[in-house]
Amino acid sequence: MKATFRLPNTGKGWISLGLIIFVILLGSWPVIPLLNNETIILGMPILMTWSVIIIFLTTFIMWFINKIGGIK
């Protein structure tokens, strides 16, 4: 099976790809150690609060990409 990688052809596609990469970076290693401390926000540790924010942010980004028709 041949694997291929397609780059976006439009400006909306590039914006969509940038938003997806941005969300992935927010949930990856360089950000997580910054939030891994004992601070409590809304009754939850800050890392758990950050995880909930990432879930809502991902949902919003996917809705936004669908709305602008960025990736087809």
Q: pLDDT band for 71, please (50, 70, 90 cuts).
A: low
Q: Each residue of 9-63: pLDDT tens digit?
A: 888 989 999 999 999 998 888 888 888 888 888 888 888 888 999 999 999 999 9
| 45, 38 contact by CB (below 8 A) | yes
Distance between CA atoms of residues 31 and 17, nearest Å: 20
- Sign for the CA dihedral angle at 49, 55, 67, 22 comes to positive
Answer for the pair 52, 41: CB distance below 8 angstroms, yes or no.
no
